[in-house]
Amino acid sequence: MDSELNKKIELSIKILKNSKNIVALTGAGISTESGIPDFRSPGTGLWTKNDPMKYASIDAFLENPASYWERAIDPSGLGNKILDSEPSKSHLALAELEKIGLLKSVITQNIDNLHQKAGNTDVIELHGTIFTAHCMNCKTRYKRRHVLEWVKEGELPPLCKKDGCEGILKSDTILFGESLPQDALSRAIKISRNCDCMIVLGSSLVVTPAAHLPILAVKNGAELIIINIQKTPKDHLARIVINQKIGKVIPKIIDKLKD
């Protein structure tokens, strides 16, 4: 490993050790290591191949909810891949960072539940989660796995099971054209303002509001560490920028930190 990278790793460890209130901000890059494709990577990204407005917009869903749920039961589809995916060593490293008392919260742009599977207990999901669905009428929440069973039995679109409701069920993932969950957003803003160190992992920091959160953190005096395979528009705000695969860096940092 080159010495410049080693220096950055050593400095990151020092900063993390001296922090009392660390927040992680994560994006698709941390989940590619769990086999989930990066939605926005140039060339390989999902939305460069498929028209998002056709497959993942709220208008398309409302026009034909049955079609969304029909695709959802495709065993080789992305949804089922995500449901079955396992945390990467980077997810596990963040869970360790919480266990040793340094990491307070994870703010994520991912919908895959992998931080929770790894063991993090305070995860703020800016773009919702694929693991649950809700009734568009009465807001009752259902596990996606249950909804998929109903769809497999031919219920298209799947409907709310509350007496007399029969509202259409919609995944808790945020579709294009939908507003973000306000509770998650306001907590993310508050936490970003209050942290003394923010570590960004695998986010290209181009999608708002995630792209604004590091600005809030730095304005309030927090240290900023960015680990992402590509450069980001917020690199100039960071104390340390490491353009590497996260899996090659963060598990090493956490291992050394524990020594």
Give catalytic residue positions. 127
Q: How many CB atoms lie within 10 A of CB 57?
A: 16
* Tokens standing for residue 12: 């990151």
Total number of residues binding Zn ion (CB under 5 A)?
Answer: 8
Q: Least distance in Å: CB of 141 to Zn ion?
A: 10
Q: Least distance in Å: CB of 67 to Zn ion?
A: 21
Which is nearer to Zn ion, 140 or 194 (by Cβ)?
Answer: 140
d(CA 107, CA 193): 13
Which is nearer to Zn ion, 149 or 255 (by Cβ)?
Answer: 149
Which is nearer to Zn ion, 29 or 157 (by Cβ)?
Answer: 157
| Contact letters for Zn ion, residues 157-186 (x by CB under 5 A) | ---x-x--x-x-------------------
Candidate residues 60, 111, 114, 135; the one interacting with Zn ion per rule CB under 5 A: 135
Q: Per CB under 5 A, does 21 bind Zn ion? A: no
Q: At what angle do helices 89-99 and 246-258 cross, to 10 degrees?
A: 30
Which is nearer to Zn ion, 160 or 199 (by Cβ)?
Answer: 160
Q: Least distance in Å: CB of 70 to Zn ion?
A: 21
Residue with tokens 């409302």: 62
d(CA 159, CA 84): 24
Beginning with the edge strand found earlier in the chain, give each strand of the sheet holding 128-135 in spatial order: 141-143, 128-135, 169-173
Which is nearer to Zn ion, 53 or 165 (by Cβ)?
Answer: 165
Buried b (16+ CB within 10 A) or exposed e, 62-94: eeebeebbeebbeeeebbbbbbebebbbbbbbb
Candidate residues 11, 53, 66, 138; the one interacting with Zn ion per rule CB under 5 A: 138
Q: Least distance in Å: CB of 181 to Zn ion?
A: 19
Q: Per CB under 5 A, does 141 bind Zn ion? A: no
Longest dimension (CA), the chain: 66
Q: Per CB under 5 A, does 133 bind Zn ion? A: no
Q: Per CB under 5 A, does 142 bind Zn ion? A: no
Candidates 1-9, 104-112, 129-137, 187-195; binding stretch for Zn ion (CB under 5 A): 129-137
SS (H, E, C) 151-167: HHCCCCCCECCCCCCCC
Q: Least distance in Å: CB of 170 to Zn ion?
A: 11
d(CA 200, CA 164): 46
Measuring CA to CA, which residue among 131, 95, 88, 93 is closest to residue 111?
131
Q: Per CB under 5 A, does 206 bind Zn ion? A: no
Q: Under the rule (CB under 5 A), what is the footprint of Zn ion?
A: 135, 137-138, 140, 160, 162, 165, 167
